[in-house]
Amino acid sequence: MTAKPSRSPQRRPFSGWLSRRAGWELWGLVVLALLVLGGLGACSRSGDVWSAPVEVTEVAAEVDVEDGQGAEVSVTPATKEESAAPSDEYRRPPAAELRRRLSPLAYEVTQRGATEPPFQNAFWDHHEAGLYVDVVSGEPLFSSRDKFDSGTGWPSFTRPVDPGRVRTLPDTSHGMQRTEVRSAAGDSHLGHVFEDGPAPSGLRYCVNSAALRFIPLERLEAEGYGRYVSAVGGEGSREDRAAASFGPSAQENSCVAPSAAPGAATPGCTTTLETALLAGGCFWGMQEILRAVPGVLETEVGYIGGKTRKPTYEDVKTGRTGHAEAVRVVFDPARISYAELLEKWFFRMHDPTTKDRQGNDVGTQYRSAIFTTSAEQARIARETKARVDRSGKWAAPLVTEIVPAGPFTPAEDEHQDYLQKNPGGYSCHFLRD
């Protein structure tokens, strides 16, 4: 019988084993160096403020790999700008998400550069302490501490809360030379900045409410804006802010008193959108029809035309305040004119021949009325009413009132978009042929 050959393992030369061991030790040193540098990087941050960055150079090592060939391995640790820079905190969502998430008005303003109507927006007369952020990206833009009454009907600020959060571009639209203001991360159109603001900056950032979301002071920590608490200030700063904001110079600007000279250095302000204030019975049914009209960007129900300050539904329903239930309609005149809105929609959705009544709802709060915001609106409303009256579509004369608009008080939340929240709820409104 032939003996089987020995299968004992062959030993490698000691020198080869040592070379590989040295290589692995070098690898270990590289990994250790990275861990140390990473730890130093983490320690270089104190609270929410970064210390002066330490320049980090590439680390290279000769490593003896398995096949005995040398290879250079370069490692560049991440700097603070690459890992946790403020610009990375806020991002512009994809276009489809913007369409889904933004209201039609906010979309028109931030994405198409529209300008909302003055005095008929959320924040023009808003004085609560807090932070105004981009409705698109959430990046912080303006502090309530820097807000002032410019008399323009739009929210106005003397400066951004962080200059790096806004950028400016030349704007020659509407025959004027202005400076547009956009958010840095969200690239949202915010408004314009003018050099006619109060001291000390001399600037007036004229901003659309629809481009902003407001976060009250007490909510800043909870919503991740804690580092801006000091920039906003507390309750004690309101008196100082009011004293600085309502001085005589605050309303001396080109939007309140625009220059009539062509190409003037101090341009006036113009809105690309318009507001209609319409009353025709219970505002639930009116809003449900108006919100779907092509060219209408925003609707809000509320009270107008009365003598009580800050009326509530409980006040108005008694019929003793003089208010009418009404709908505030923001629309794009490039897509639907004021006359079309009245003739093709308003005068068809309710019965304008019944005084102080619509269906089962009786009282002055249910009257038919058009509250005009300008002399031009009043002229168009009178002409449209007369045209509808002559058409013979209604058997009786129209009793719709046409009066200048006074203060509009938004109704309580439960009345906003009521029929969206309560499908099949009460309504006496429908479009007549």
CA pair distance 63, 76, nearest whole angstrom? 17
Q: How many CB atoms lie within 10 A of CB 163?
A: 9
Q: What is the pLDDT of residue 49?
A: 32
Using the Cα atoms of residue 110, residue 113, residue 114 and residue 117 in order, give the sign of their dihedral.
positive
CA pair distance 37, 427, nearest whole angstrom? 69
282 is catalytic: yes
CA pair distance 284, 326, nearest whole angstrom? 9
Q: What is the pLDDT of residue 88?
A: 58
Q: Tell me which of 206, 255, 269, 428 is the catalytic residue.
A: 206
Domain boundaries, the chain: 14-84, 88-251, 274-421
Q: What is the pLDDT of residue 271?
A: 86
- Contacts of residue 131, defined as CB under 8 A and 6 or more positions apart, other chains included, come to 140, 142, 143, 144, 161, 214, 215, 217, 220, 225, 228, 231, 232
pLDDT by 10s per residue, the chain, length 433: 444 333 333 434 434 444 444 454 555 554 455 444 444 343 333 333 333 333 333 333 333 333 333 333 222 233 322 323 334 589 999 999 999 999 999 999 999 999 999 998 999 999 999 999 999 999 999 999 999 999 999 999 999 999 999 999 999 888 888 999 999 999 999 999 999 899 888 999 999 999 999 999 999 999 999 999 999 975 444 444 444 333 334 566 767 665 544 455 555 677 899 999 999 999 999 999 999 999 999 999 999 999 998 999 999 999 999 999 999 999 999 999 999 999 999 999 999 999 999 999 999 999 999 999 999 999 999 999 999 999 999 999 999 999 999 999 999 999 999 999 999 999 999 999 8
Instruction: Supply φ then ψ for residue 313, to 5 degrees.
Output: -60, -40
N- to C-terminal Cα separation, the chain: 113
Tokens of 118: 């003055």
**Superfamily for domain range 274-421:** Peptide methionine sulphoxide reductase MsrA (3.30.1060.10)
Give the chain's largest Cα–Cα span: 128
Q: Tell me which of 43, 255, 269, 282 is the catalytic residue.
A: 282
Q: How many CB atoms lie within 10 A of CB 83?
A: 12
Q: How far is CA 282 from the centre of its chain?
A: 30
255 is catalytic: no
**Domain covering 88-251 in this structure, CATH number:** 2.170.150.20
Q: What is the dihedral of CA 119, 120, 121, 127, to 10 degrees?
A: 40
Q: What is the pLDDT of residue 269?
A: 72
